């Protein structure tokens, strides 16, 4: 069961406390969320569910999204509907900070490490194609960032591709064995670190193999250049196609503190010629840590092998199975949510909220920047302000119609302004259900002091 979350006192409804475990080093996210956290009022509470506010300049305040593309802490469907449940304007608002992105209670951060930039990019692209698009944030960390170990308590999944420096291996051991972390190792020598019996390897350069996993049969994939096998087993060869290597059900491994851990081992998939393990699962029962090892390149896109026509053709045929297997491994065995909506994103018009006087003052201040039809061109987005009787154009990733005198159904303006105690900040709001990123509205010269942009969902973050 999930740990009970203790409520926090927040004196200002527009300033929320973000729970932290350890401070992350400077990151370079694939899809960085503008919001710091997402708060949801629990049933029966009077708490606000405003996202946290981040100052982006001395003149502009950004209201972070309640539901961004990848940085949602609670992993819920993320709407603004909970704002409508606010029934009073308390001086002090009690909110709860849910932290249930996964059953381990870890923040929904996915860390990718590879010394190869090509491999790291391939891993990120595959993750983006299978993970729930509103639930996780993917970070690619350098070796120096990984060695700080600040991420250890803040990652729900770590994906390692390729060789791992000896200095990093103990930290990854700690993450899994002591901290109950989830780890996916793709064609990595880390297999021999967690399972010392797999330190013997045969070289298989550029070999296309056939393997099976669960309901996926006879899938053709590129094997790792090294084929790791239990050290105690006899050497296998192509002349002995019936050789089946016996894998022990458990192994013991020491962590960096010389504490002995027992890992349960299960073969998930086997290469069909020699019956050597292609996919392995290791589980530490006390901490709950889990590792999936793959000796086939589940991260590699077929386009990487276009120079070899036969291999490229076989890999293209197997590509749907590759993605499905990747998704099944991290959902079934590592506990991540891969039930992502694959439908096309439908952008929505925005609503200009605030008093009539403030809105008129705003339009007067920016009138010299407006083009015909009340159009404001920003570096990455065009805003079209639509007054009464003006039919708004269809919203897109590059065009945001702003309805001047309409109210959204999915955002309670009454609840928002009743709970707003500031005199200027947040008194003017641009709200949109679906937008690329709130930062696109605030790019360029400041529009107005205190302007807040509140999206329910962002499709690309910053």
pLDDT at 90: 40
Mark which of 307, 333, 359 sits at the end of a domain: 333
Check if the beta carbon of residue 85 is closer than 8 Å to that of residue 418. Answer: no
Q: What does the pLDDT read at residue 245?
A: 57
Coil/strand/helix, residue 325 = helix
What is the DSSP pairing of strand 8-10 with strand 182-186? unpaired
pLDDT at 96: 38
The 3-state DSSP class for residue 296 equals strand
Per-residue model confidence (pLDDT) at position 106: 83
Name the pTM for this structure. 0.60
pLDDT of residue 282: 96
Say what the pLDDT of residue 343 is. 62
378 and 314, same structural domain?
Answer: no
Q: Which stretches of the chain drop beneath a pLDDT of 70?
A: 1-104, 201, 231-245, 340-344, 461-462
75: its two tokens: 């992993």
Other C-beta atoms lying within 10 Å of the C-beta of residue 143? 13
H helix and E strand count, the chain: 8, 22
Does 111 map to a domain? no
Give the number of domains in the chain.
Answer: 2
- Residues 207, 324, single domain; the answer is yes
Question: What is the predicted pLDDT for the residue at 374?
Answer: 93
Domain that holds residue 82: 8-101+344-458
Name the residue with tokens 């909220």.
353
- Give me 223's structure tokens: 């094997």
Bridge partners, residue 172, by sequence: none
Cβ neighbours of 28 (radius 10 Å): 10
Classify 351 in phi/psi space as left (phi over 0), alpha (psi -120 to 50) or beta: beta
Same domain, 257 and 327: yes
* Statement to judge: residues 184 and 84 lie in one domain: no
Residue 435 Rama label (left phi>0; alpha psi -120 to 50; beta): beta
Per the CB < 8 A criterion, the answer to whether 429 and 1 are in contact is no
Q: How far apart are CA 133 and CA 339, in angstroms?
A: 9
Residue closest to 434 by CA, chosen among 341, 303, 371:
341
């Amino acid at each position: 069961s999930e740990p009970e979350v203790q409520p926090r006192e927040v004196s200002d409804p527009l300033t929320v406390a973000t729970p932290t475990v350890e401070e992350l080093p400077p990151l370079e996210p694939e899809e960085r969320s503008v919001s710091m956290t997402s708060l949801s009022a629990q049933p029966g509470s009077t708490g606000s569910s405003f996202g946290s506010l981040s100052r982006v300049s001395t003149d502009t305040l950004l209201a972070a999204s309640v539901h961004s593309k990848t940085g949602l802490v609670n992993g819920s469907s993320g709407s603004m509907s909970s704002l409508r449940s606010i029934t009073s304007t308390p001086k002090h608002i009690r909110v709860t900070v849910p932290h249930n992105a996964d059953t381990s209670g870890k923040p929904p951060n996915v860390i990718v490490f590879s010394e190869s930039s090509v491999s790291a990019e391939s891993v990120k692209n595959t993750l983006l194609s299978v993970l729930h698009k509103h639930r996780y944030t993917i970070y690619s960390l350098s070796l120096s960032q990984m060695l700080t170990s600040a991420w250890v308590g803040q990652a729900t999944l770590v994906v390692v591709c390729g060789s791992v420096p000896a200095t990093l291996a103990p930290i990854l051991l700690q993450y899994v064995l002591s901290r109950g972390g989830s780890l996916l190792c793709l064609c990595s020598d880390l297999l021999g670190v967690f399972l010392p019996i797999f330190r013997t390897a045969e070289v298989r350069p550029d070999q296309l193999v056939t393997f099976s996993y669960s309901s996926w049969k006879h899938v053709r994939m590129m094997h790792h250049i090294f084929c790791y096998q239990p050290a105690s087993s006899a050497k296998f060869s192509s002349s002995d196609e019936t050789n089946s290597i016996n894998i022990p059900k458990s192994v013991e491994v020491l962590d960096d503190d010389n504490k002995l851990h027992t890992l349960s081992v299960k073969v998930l998939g086997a290469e069909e010629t020699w019956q050597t393990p292609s996919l392995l699962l290791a589980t530490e029962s006390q901490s709950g840590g889990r590792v999936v090892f793959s000796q086939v390149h589940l991260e590699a896109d077929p386009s990487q092998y276009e120079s070899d026509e036969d291999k490229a053709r076989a890999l293209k045929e197997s590509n749907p199975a590759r993605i499905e297997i990747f998704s099944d491994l991290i959902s079934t065995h590592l506990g991540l949510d891969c039930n992502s909506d694959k439908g096309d994103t439908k952008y929505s018009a925005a609503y200009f909220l605030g008093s009539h006087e403030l809105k008129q003052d705003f339009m007067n201040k920016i009138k010299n920047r407006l083009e015909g039809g009340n159009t404001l061109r920003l570096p990455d987005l065009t805003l079209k302000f639509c007054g009464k009787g003006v039919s708004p154009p269809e919203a897109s990733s590059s065009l945001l119609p702003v309805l001047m005198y309409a109210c959204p159904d999915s955002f309670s303006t009454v609840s928002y302004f009743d709970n707003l105690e500031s005199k200027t900040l947040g008194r003017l709001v641009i709200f949109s259900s679906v937008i690329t990123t709130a930062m696109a509205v605030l790019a360029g010269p400041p529009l107005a002091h205190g302007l807040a942009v509140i999206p329910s969902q962002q499709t690309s973050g910053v």
